[in-house]
Amino acid sequence: MSILDLNFSIALDFFPLLAGLLAAVTCGLLGNFLVLRRLSLMGDAISHSVLPGLVIAFLIASTRSPIAMFIGAALAGVLTVVLVELIKKLGRVEPGAAMGVVFSVLFALGVLLIERAAVRHVDLDADCVLHGQLETLAWYGAPDTFAGLLTFSTLEHTPQPVMTLAAMTVLAFVFVGVLFKELRSAAFDPALATTQGFNATLMHYLLMVFVAAATVASFTAVGSILVIAMLVCPAATARLLTDRLGTQVVCSVVIAVASAVGGYLAAAAVPALWGAEEVNAAGSMTLMSGLLLVLAIIAAPRHGLITRAIRRSRLGRSIARDDLLAALYRASETGAESIAKPELERAIAGHRPTATIKTARRRGLITEHDNRLTLTPAGRSAAEEIVRRHRLWEHYLVEQAGVAPDHVHDLAEQLEHVDPRPAADAATDPHGKPIP
């Protein structure tokens, strides 16, 4: 890469990429606690509802200073949370509907205020709010090398939106780091958090203030579309990858970084493959976060579609083998030591009988002679355990759950595959059959 190419990259890409990265990390970090509390739409609501707060703050202060914008957005964010809670309690509607009503009305109010003649000719418009203006963060006269960035000159030329995002990122990490235990308790069980001395309501509103602050800090640079995506996608993706909150928070930050960097690079590289112009960087970052979420939904090691399909398939094969062995055992109780293969296939017709018999024979659970199937010693031991669980469950359902004896068989057929079996001191099941 030549010096000219390197200078061009730093000049046009460094601050836009840094702004997108900081916004993604900040929103991804805070979004964990929205996702855990099933308030993902609250991020959408706040990111839309702070718009009238921004406009009103501008009308009052006649300036777009970060302090005025922050105050307006924070007040609008708190108002959003209060209105949602009021509508939920007074209107008796579910949270999603309450949030949808509030953010729709407040966002529409913000758009109307923007279009007023008093603010139409200032640099505050709906397109900026939605899509951001990363391209305005270019640094003309940037140093020739990346080592040249490590100077005080870089701080002097850092755009105000990037400085605001950097400060917000630091505050978000401090907020989560210092109050992690309280945020975790309030997210999983607000009532328990209150009994432990944490004010869950205060934590809720404090979190909403930080979400509102992160939203307004990101507006000018990346727009609300990226903010909404990053408040949900990294946390939701991380949630599919782990069941531990600490690990989830770390994963969400890594995913946010990957979404920002990958999306920014893809915004220029992918369209170039077809000879097209580069696309909006914030939109590309949003798309990348969505693609990572889809990838996690499909291929997550524990909760992904592929893993769940494999587990279901294994469980289905296990249940089929259990039913095969149980059928042979029950036949042996009547004096038949073997069953004709076609008859047994009809008995387990819903379980791919041919494959099930082949697998059981390969595992040494059954033998086949003259087209008749017989349990091996290992198979009989396994079959006794299956039938024992079935009849113990029948006994439990009749004696403890009060189910009628003629209604327990089908339910016990499902429960017999559950381990551990119920504890019971009984020699026979409700039908008088001996429990192995």
Q: Which DSSP string do the residues of 61-106 spell out, in sequence order?
A: HSS--HHHHHHHHHHHHHHHHHHHHHHHHHH---HHHHHHHHHHHH
Q: What's the mean per-residue pLDDT of the chain?
A: 80
Among 230, 260, 286, identify where a domain stops.
230
Q: How far apart are CA 119 and CA 111, in angstroms?
A: 11
Classify residue 235: in a domain, yes or no: no
| Mean pLDDT of all residues in 212-223 | 77
**Percentage with pLDDT > 90 across the chain:** 14
Last residue of one domain, picked from the residues 230, 254, 279: 230
Do 48 and 121 belong to one domain? yes
Mean pLDDT value of segment 58-79: 77
- Structure tokens belonging to residue 177: 């780091």
Determine the Cα–Cα distance for residues 69 and 274; give it in Å rounded to an integer. Answer: 41
End-to-end CA distance of the chain: 77
CA dihedral over 184, 186, 190, 195, signed as positive or negative: positive
The pLDDT of residue 355 is above 80: yes
**Among the listed residues 32, 23, 22, 25, the one whose alpha carbon sits nearest the alpha carbon of residue 246:** 32
Q: Which two tokens stand for residue 123?
A: 């640099």
Give me the CATH number covering residue 400. Answer: 1.10.60.10
Q: Is residue 358 part of a domain?
A: yes
Q: Is the dihedral of CA 12, 14, 16, 17 positive or negative?
A: positive
pLDDT at 404: 86
Which has more confidence, 151 or 311? Answer: 311
| Span 181-210, average pLDDT | 81
Copy the structure tokens of residue 92.
């008796």
Residue 12 identity: L
**412 and 332 belong to one structural domain:** no
Q: What is the CATH number of the domain that holds 91?
A: 1.10.3470.10
**Count of CB atoms situated within 10 Å of the CB of 302:** 11
- Output the CA–CA distances (angstroms, integers) from residue 78 to 71, 218, 285, in the order listed: 11, 18, 28
In 3D space, the residue among 226, 53, 47, 31 whose CA is nearest the CA of residue 133 turns out to be 226
Do 220 and 74 sit in the same domain of this protein? yes
**Shortest CA distance to 407 belongs to which of 431, 374, 377?**
431
Q: How confident is the model at residue 7 (pLDDT cuts 50, 70, 90)?
A: very low
Give the list of residues 6+ apart from residue 145 with CB closer than 8 angstroms, or none. Answer: 3, 6
Assess whether 370 and 398 both reside in one domain.
Answer: no
Pair (314, 394) in one structural domain: no
What was the pLDDT predicted at 193? 75
Question: Residue 190 to residues 30, 211, 298: CA-CA distances in angstroms?
Answer: 18, 19, 32
pLDDT over 50 (residue 117): no
In angstroms, the CA 70 to CA 79 distance is: 14
Residue 262, in any domain of the structure: no
User: Of how many residues is the chain composed?
Assistant: 436
Tell me if 245 is assigned to some domain. Answer: no
Q: Residue 322 maps to which CATH number?
A: 1.10.10
- Structural domains in the chain (count): 3
Take residue 373 and report the two structure tokens written for it: 């199937």
Q: Tell whether 338 and 406 lie within a shared domain.
A: no
Same domain for 43 and 118, yes or no, is: yes
My answer on whether 355 and 421 are in the same domain is no
Residue 348 maps to a domain: yes
Residue 122 has pLDDT above 60, yes or no: no
Please give the sequence-ordered ranges of beta strands (E in DSSP) within 161-275, or none if there are none.
none
pLDDT beyond 60 at 301? yes
Asked if 403 and 397 count as a contact pair (C-beta separation under 8 A), the reply is yes
Who's near 97: CB < 8 A, 6+ residues apart?
A: none
In a domain, 421, yes or no: yes
In a domain, 289, yes or no: no
Res. 348 pLDDT band, cuts 50 70 90? confident
pLDDT at 283: 82
User: Both tokens of residue 319?
Assistant: 């249940």
- Tell me the pLDDT band of 138, cut-offs 50, 70 and 90: low
The whole-angstrom separation of Cα 190 and Cα 193 is 5
List the domain range (segments joined by +) for residue 102: 3-147+159-230
Share of the chain above pLDDT 70, in %: 84
Residue 300 falls within a domain, yes or no? no
> Locate tokens 């307004």: which residue?
216
285: Cβ contacts below 8 Å, ≥ 6 apart: 20, 24, 222, 226, 229, 230, 259, 260, 262, 263, 264, 267
Query: Which of the residue ranges 6-15, 284-293, 318-327 would you say has the lowest mean pLDDT?
Result: 6-15
pLDDT at 133: 66
Split at pLDDT 50, 70, 90, the class of 291 is: very high
Give 240-272 pLDDT, tens digit per residue: 999 899 899 999 999 999 999 998 888 877 777
Tell me, what's the pLDDT at 8?
44
Q: What is the pLDDT of residues 46-66, one digit of tens each?
A: 777 777 887 888 778 777 666
In the predicted structure, residue 129 carries a pLDDT above the cut 60 = no
Q: Is there a single domain that holds both residue 26 and residue 163?
A: yes
pLDDT at 155: 66
Same domain, 198 and 319: no
Burial of 121 (0-12, 13-18, 19+ CB in 10 A): exposed
Which range has highest mean pLDDT (62-71, 126-135, 394-403)? Answer: 394-403
**pLDDT value at position 4?**
40
Distance (Å, rounded) from C-alpha 357 to C-alpha 77? 63
Residue 294 pLDDT > 90: yes
State the virtual CA torsion across 251, 257, 259, 263 in degrees, nearest 10.
-170
Q: Are 319 and 408 found together in one domain?
A: no
Q: Name every residue whose Cβ is closer than 8 Å to that of residue 381 and which is 6 or more positions away in sequence.
A: none
* Mean pLDDT, residues 78-85 taken together: 82
Check whether residue 422 and residue 349 sit in a common domain. Answer: no
